């Protein structure tokens, strides 16, 4: 089977080339068929040009530059719609997500429907201890509120079979920012999809600046949780 590794980018010129090289180094020895799909939201720093210069002749690297409808969740959906792998792998482009575990995330799909890179299982964690603590508390609240078995509902580093994902209503999942992943896991949980969390350790960003602002993200995610809770109560989220 073929895997599509989807990378949403915005101002990641200093990371993207090294990341794609690391993905190739991790996946090529396994003899898996794969492609890397870069969805760039017209980064002013030249992210797309860096991809073209370094991988323009590589048929396994696809680059799409969006000039409208920007945002993380919609970029991911765009990647879904413009990839052709039977397996989909989603990850960030700042090296928070370790490419070396991609083969595991693909292999374990033989036994589970969704594989999640988790900071909050044994051997997982973060170099940024403040973010680790705040994320841990927030995830605990999510588990209490929704009864989900997942420890890291904010990860965004996961693999899934395309047909399992497409069977969900993507319109009710892929909007906003990282809160899309909370909605995706809620739908998967309600549908009874078996999920496995494997440990990941988030290191500090190698280059550039994080696009995540703590206060605004906290407000956005909390609002998304309340909306999701209402939809689940009223049966509008399936």
> Sign of torsion, CA 43 204 178 226?
negative
- The pLDDT tens digits for 198-224 are 999 998 765 555 555 557 776 777 777
3-state secondary structure 150-169: CCCCCCCCEEEEHHHHHCCC
Q: What is the model's pLDDT at position 92? A: 94
pLDDT at 14 over 90: yes
Distance of CA 27 to CAs 43, 98, 110, 114, Å? Answer: 27, 12, 17, 19
Kindly report the length of the chain: 238
Q: What is the model's pLDDT at position 212? A: 53
What gap in Å lies between CA 165 and CA 39, rounded to an integer? 19
% of the chain exceeding 90 in pLDDT: 72
Q: Is 106 helix (H, G, I), strand (E, B) or coil?
A: helix
Mean pLDDT, the chain, rounded, equals: 91
What gap in Å lies between CA 28 and CA 203, rounded to an integer? 24
Show the domains of the chain with their CATH numbers.
Answer: 2-234 (3.90.550.10)
Q: What is the model's pLDDT at position 114? A: 98
pTM of the predicted protein model: 0.89
Q: What is the model's pLDDT at position 206? A: 58
Q: Would you state the structure tokens that stand for residue 91, as one six-digit string?
A: 């990850």
Q: Which of 205, 170, 203, 176 is nearest to 188 (CA)?
A: 170
pLDDT at 133 over 70: yes
| Higher-pLDDT residue of 13, 227 | 13
- The pLDDT tens digits for 162-173 are 999 999 999 999
- The pLDDT tens digits for 173-185 are 999 888 899 999 9
Q: Is 29 helix (H, G, I), strand (E, B) or coil?
A: helix
Q: What is the model's pLDDT at position 144? A: 85
- Bridge partners, residue 158, by sequence: 90, 116
Q: Is 210 helix (H, G, I), strand (E, B) or coil?
A: coil
Mean pLDDT of 39-51: 97
Q: Is 81 helix (H, G, I), strand (E, B) or coil?
A: helix
% of the chain exceeding 70 in pLDDT: 91
Distance of CA 57 to CAs 23, 29, 42, 124, Å? Answer: 17, 21, 21, 37
Distance of CA 98 to CAs 91, 161, 170, 232, 236, Å? Answer: 9, 20, 26, 33, 35
Spatial contact of 177 and 217, defined as CB atoms under 8 Å apart:
yes
Distance of CA 2 to CAs 84, 167, 228, Å? Answer: 8, 19, 33
pLDDT at 237 over 90: no
Residue 148's pLDDT band (boundaries 50, 70, 90)? confident
- The pLDDT tens digits for 63-112 are 999 998 889 999 999 999 999 999 999 999 988 999 999 999 999 999 99
pLDDT at 125 over 90: yes
In eight-state DSSP terms, residue 203 is P
Residue 160's pLDDT band (boundaries 50, 70, 90)? very high
Q: What is the model's pLDDT at position 232? A: 67
pLDDT at 139 over 60: yes
What gap in Å lies between CA 117 and CA 8, rounded to an integer? 17
Q: What is the model's pLDDT at position 153? A: 93
Helical pair 179-190 and 72-81, crossing angle rounded to 10 deg: 60
Q: What is the model's pLDDT at position 238? A: 65
């Amino acid at each position: 089977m073929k895997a599509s590794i989807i990378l949403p980018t915005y101002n990641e010129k200093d990371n993207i080339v090294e990341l794609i090289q690391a993905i190739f180094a991790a996946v090529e020895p396994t003899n898996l068929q794969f492609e890397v799909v870069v969805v760039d939201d017209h980064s002013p720093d030249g992210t797309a040009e860096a991809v073209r210069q370094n991988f323009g002749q590589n048929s396994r690297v696809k680059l799409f530059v969006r000039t409208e409808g920007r945002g993380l969740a919609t970029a991911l959906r765009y990647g879904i719609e413009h990839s052709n792998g039977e397996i989909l792998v989603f990850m960030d482009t700042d090296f928070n997500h370790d490419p070396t575990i991609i083969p595991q995330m693909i292999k374990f799909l033989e036994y589970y429907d969704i594989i999640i890179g988790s900071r909050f299982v044994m051997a997982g964690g973060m170099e940024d201890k403040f973010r680790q603590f705040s994320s841990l508390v927030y995830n605990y609240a999510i588990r209490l509120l929704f009864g989900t078995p997942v420890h890291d509902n904010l990860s965004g580093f996961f693999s899934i079979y395309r047909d399992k994902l497409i069977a969900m209503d993507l319109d009710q999942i892929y909007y906003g920012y990282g809160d899309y992943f909370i909605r995706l896991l809620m739908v998967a949980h309600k549908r009874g999809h078996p999920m496995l969390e494997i440990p990941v350790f988030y290191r500090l960003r190698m280059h550039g600046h994080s696009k995540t602002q703590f206060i605004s993200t906290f407000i956005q995610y909390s609002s998304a949780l309340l909306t999701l809770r209402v939809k689940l109560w009223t049966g509008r989220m399936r």
